[in-house]
Structure 1
Amino acid sequence: MNTITILGSGRVGSGLATALRRAGHDVAVPDRSPGAAADAARAAQIVINATPGAGSLERLGALQEELRDTILVDVSNATVDGPDGLPAGLLYPGSSLAEQLQQALPETRVVKTLNTMLFSVMTAPATLTQPPTAFLSGNDPEAKLTVAGLLTGIGWNPQWITDLGGIETAQASEAAILFVPHVIRSTGLAPFAISIAR
C-alpha cells in the first residue's frame, strides 16, 4: 500500500482516486486551497498531478519543499486550446510539461505516464478492443518501477507498459495530444489510446 495524494479532482483525478483506492492504496484528494495541497503532498509517498496542464507548473512549483524526495506522477498535458476548447498546440514546444516540472523540482522524481489516452482508459485499459500502451518517462528507474506497479494494480498488463527512457522522452508522448482533437472530431468521445503494435 502506498500513501498517494492526487492534485486535481476532475474526471482524471477522481477516476484515478477510485481505482487506486480499490487497489488498496491510501488516497487523498485535497481541495484547491494551497494549504490543503501542501499538507497532503507533504504526507504522501506519491503525488499525482491531474491538474489542468496549463497551470500545473505554477501550482506544483510552489510545492518544492513538500515534494522533496517524492515521486510525482504527471498525467497532464500542457496545451494551447483552440476556439472549440480542444488542444491546438503545445504550451512547451521543444520541451514538455514533465521536463519543466523536473527542472522546477530538482529533488522530486518526476514520472510521465497515462497522458496518451482518453481519461476513461487510464483506469480501464482492458475495455479497448486492442491493447493500449502506457508510456513511462523519467530519470529515476526505481520511481518508474514503482509507477509501473501502480499501473498493474489498476488493470494494466505489464506487457502494455513501455519505458521510453529519461524525462526528455516525455516530449514525444506529450506531442501525441495533437492527435486528440482530430480523433474526437472524427469518431467522437469513444474511448481510445495511442498504442504500439508489435
Structure 2
Amino acid sequence: MTTIAVLGNGRVGGNLATALTRAGHEVTVADRTPGAAADAARAARIVINATPGDGSLDRLAALREELRGKILVDVSNATTDGPDGLPAALLYPGSSLAEQLQEALPETRVVKTLNTMLFPVMTAPAMLSQPPTAFLSGEDPQAKQTVRDLLTDLGWHKEWITDLGGIQTASATEAAILFVPLVIRSSGFTPFAISIAR
C-alpha cells in the first residue's frame, strides 16, 4: 500500500483515485484550492497531478516544499482550448508541462505518463480492442519503476508500458494531445489511446 494524493477532483482525478483505492492504496483527493492541495501533498508519498494543464505549473510550483523528495506523476497536458473546448494548441511548444514542472521543482521526481489516451483507458486499458501503450518520461529510474508498478495495479501489462527516457521526451507525448480533438470530431468520445504497434 502506498499513500497517494490526487490533485484534481474532476473526471481524470476521480477515476484514478477510485481505481487506486480499489487496488489497495491509501488515496486522498484534493481540489485545486491551495490549502487542500498542500495538506494532501504533504501527507503523501506519491502525488498525481490531474489538474487542468493550463494552470498546473503555477499551482504546483507553489507546493515546492510539500513536494520536496516526492514522486510527482503528471498526467495532464498543457494546452489552450478552441471554441469547442477541445485542445487547440500546446501551451509549451517545443517543451512540455512535465519539463516545466521538473525545472520548477528540482527536488521532486517528475514522471510523465497516461497523457496519451482518453481518461477511461487510464484505469481500464483492457477495454480497448488492441493493446494500448502507456509511455513513461522522467529522470529518476527508481521513480519510474514505482510508477510502472502503479500502472500494473491499474491493469497495465508490463509489455504495454514503454519507457521513452528522460523528462525531455515528454514533449513528444504531450504533442500527441493534438490528435485528440481530431479523433473526437471524427469518432466521438469513444475511448482510445495513442499506441505503438509492433
Give the structure-1-normalised TM-score: 0.99
Q: Which residue of 1 aligns with 2:59?
A: 59
In 1, Cα distance between the equivalents of 2:51 and 2:102? 16
Q: Which residue of 2 aligns with 1:88?
A: 88
Q: Which residue of 2 aligns with 1:16?
A: 16
What is the 5 A alignment of 1:174-193?
A: 174-193=174-193
Return the offset for 1:32.
Answer: 3.0
- How many pairs does the alignment contain? 198
Q: Which residue of 2 aligns with 1:40?
A: 40
What is the 5 A alignment of 1:1-198?
A: 1-198=1-198
Return the offset for 1:31.
Answer: 3.3
| Conservation of the 8 A alpha-carbon contact between 2:94 and 2:171 | yes
Give a deviation string over 1:56-98, Cα, whole Å, max 9, x none: 0010000000000000000000001111111111000010000
- Residue type matched to 1:36 in 2? A
Give the structure-2-normalised TM-score: 0.99
In 2, Cα distance between the equivalents of 1:179 and 1:32? 27
In 2, Cα distance between the equivalents of 1:57 and 1:120? 24
In 2, Cα distance between the equivalents of 1:195 and 1:114? 11
| Conservation of the 8 A alpha-carbon contact between 2:32 and 2:51 | no
In 2, Cα distance between the equivalents of 1:84 and 1:48? 27
Please, which runs of 5 or more residues in structure 2 have no aligned partner?
none
- Residue type matched to 1:190 in 2? T
Give the 3-state SS of the residue equivalent to 2:48 in structure 1.
strand
Return the offset for 1:33.
Answer: 2.3
In 2, Cα distance between the equivalents of 1:165 and 1:40? 29
In 1, Cα distance between the equivalents of 2:195 and 2:16? 20
